[in-house]
Amino acid sequence: MIKRVDHIGIAVRNIEEVLNFYRQCLGLELAHTEVEPDHRVVVAFLPAGESEVELLEPIDPDSAVGRFLQKRGEGIHHICFEVKDLRQALARLKEQGVSLIDEEPRLGTGGKRIAFLHPQGTHGVLIELYERVPGEKKPPLVDLDALRERLLVESQVAQAGLRGFLTALQRGGRRPVGKTSPAGDGPESSTKLSEVSTSTAEPVAKGAPARKKAGRSRGKRAAGAVARQKVGLSPKTRSKKSKR
């Protein structure tokens, strides 16, 4: 089932400071860098034979990796194994009673197919399984400061969007029915609601049945989100079919 160790993830406070050790003392070189918006971390990869060392630097102390550092300090966060067939591997582990964080493969950074096993079933080790996707490419080597800035901006935009969405939900039920805009073009929409995509705002316009359906969908995702927070992974804030 296991082909090789793909990488070992190490949580660090500052990538540049840690790079000095890996470069000068171990002779490893930085190969590529990327960001993981869902986990709010900047990532640097240093090849070591057929595997890699993955350095994880959080930009948010309240992120999963940030909380990991506060609780445990710098050190190994997870180990990733490459498998030939991820779906088959998960089915086999489930049959053996292993606790899974992801019961189905999901897409990680760069479109990689990944899944995590819960430390409760792996004797305290957070394990990631990874299946190589045809045509998969390594990310480029990008300046770390540029990646940090990009991640900060993306986080701020996401937070602003969430605030706008919640405001729209709160105001949705209080908007007068049939009220027209000054131009007389049709129903008036609030400023905040216009910031939300039509696909997101549609359940609000349809009323209570759509909101109940959305609530049930959110409930199904809640258990997975709680499990991720407990083992140092960010909760999935939206559904993806994507940390490796």
Q: Going by DSSP bridges, is the β-strand pair 32-36/41-48 parallel, antiparallel, or unpaired? A: antiparallel
- Stretches where the chain sits below pLDDT 70 are 109-110, 139-143, 147, 150-151, 153-163, 173-244
The number of beta carbons lying within 10 Å of the beta carbon of residue 108 is 21
**Rounded to an integer, what distance in angstroms lies between the CA atom of residue 202 and that of residue 180?**
18
Cα 151 versus chain centre, distance = 12
User: Is residue 155 packed enough to be buried (19+ CB in 10 Å), middle (13-18) or exposed (0-12)?
Assistant: middle
DSSP at 128: E
Q: Going by DSSP bridges, is the β-strand pair 32-36/127-131 parallel, antiparallel, or unpaired? A: unpaired
> Cβ contacts of residue 20 below 8 Å, gap of 6+?
none
pLDDT for 69 equals 95
**Rounded to an integer, what distance in angstroms lies between the CA atom of residue 37 and that of residue 150?**
9
Q: What angle do CA 237, 125, 231 make, to 5 degrees?
A: 25
**pTM of the complete model:** 0.61
Q: Where along the chain do the CATH 3.10.180.10 domains lie? A: 2-131
Taking the domain 2-131, which CATH number applies? Answer: 3.10.180.10
pLDDT for 33 equals 87
Q: Going by DSSP bridges, is the β-strand pair 41-48/51-58 parallel, antiparallel, or unpaired? A: antiparallel
pLDDT for 206 equals 45
